[in-house]
Chains A and B, each alone.
Chain A
Amino acid sequence: EDQVTQSPEALRLQEGESSSLNCSYTVSGLRGLFWYRQDPGKGPEFLFTLYSAGEEKEKERLKATLTKKESFLHITAPKPEDSATYLCAVQDGGATNKLIFGTGTLLAVQP
C-alpha cells in the first residue's frame, strides 16, 4: 500500500534560519512526487514535481530533492511569509493520476 510520512509535524524557525522538511514514501512504482504549500482555509498551491531519484528543483528560497525513499524540501533563509503547511504527495504508476498525501509539516517562521 502506498504510504507517505512527513516529518517533523511542526517546525518553528527564526527568520533566516535554514532547515529541511522530510517526506518518506513507499509506493509501487513512483510516477511523481509532489510538493504543495497550503495556507489556512485555502487549497494547496503547487510547488514542485520530482520524477526520478537525483532530481532537484528550486524556486526562490525552496529547493526540493528526491531519492528512492524520500524527498527533502530545503528552505534557505526563510521569511515569515514562508509560514504555511507544506504537503508532500506521491503518485504511483497505476491507471489513475490520484495523489496520496502525507499529513504535512506546519512551518512557522518568526521575525
Chain B
Amino acid sequence: GAVVSQHPSRVICKSGTSVKIECRSLDFQATTMFWYRQFPKQSLMLMATSNEGSKATYEQGVEKDKFLINHASLTLSTLTVTSAHPEDSSFYICSANPLAGEYEQFFGPGTRLTVL
C-alpha cells in the first residue's frame, strides 16, 4: 500500500517550453500533496503544498506563475514548469499524505528534468 507514481520519470526539453509532471496516489486518497525539488547532493526543498480543490501554497522564493500546480482530484496533482530554463533543471519529487493515515508522507519516484 501507499504507492505514489510520477510521470514522466525523465524529460528533456528545450529552453522556453513548458513541461507537465503528474503525481498520482495509486492505492489511497490524499488530502494533501507536496512538491519538492532536489539538486545534486542536496536535500529535498519543499516548493509548494497542494490541497484538492483549492489553490496551492507556495514556499518563499518559489514563483507561483512559473510552477503551476493543479490538484484536480484526491489522487492526482500536476506540476507544470512554464517557460523552462536551464536553471530549472533538477529532480522533482512529489509526496502524498493519506486521508486515513497519520502524518506520514509517501514519495513518488521523482522526475528528472533537463532543460537544454
Cα A46 to Cα B103 in complex, Å, equals: 12
Residues of A in contact, count (CB < 8 Å): 22
**A46–B2 contact, CB under 8 A?**
yes
Chain B's nearest CB lies how many Å from the CB of A34? 7
**B110–A97 contact, CB under 8 A?**
no
Chain A's nearest CB lies how many Å from the CB of B59? 8
User: Can you name the residue of chain A whose Cβ is closest to the Cβ of B44?
Assistant: A101
**B93–A44 contact, CB under 8 A?**
yes
Query: Binary interface profile of B, 68-85, with partner A (CB < 8 Å = 1, else 0)?
Result: 000000000000000000
Query: Which B residues lie within 8 Å of A36 (CB)?
Result: 107
Q: Which positions 59-116 of chain B face chain A at CB distance < 8 Å?
A: 91, 93, 95, 97, 102-110, 112
Main secondary structure, interface of B, reads strand
A-B contacts at CB below 8 angstroms, number: 59
**A97–B43 contact, CB under 8 A?**
no
Q: Looking at chain B, what size class is its interface with the partner chain?
A: 20 to 34
Given the interface pairs A43-B110, A46-B104, A49-B102, the reply to whether A96 lies near B57 with Cβ below 8 Å is: yes
**B107–A45 contact, CB under 8 A?**
yes
Chain A's nearest CB lies how many Å from the CB of B106? 6
Query: Which B residues lie within 8 Å of A42 (CB)?
Result: 109-110
Query: Which A residues lie within 8 Å of B4 (CB)?
Result: 43
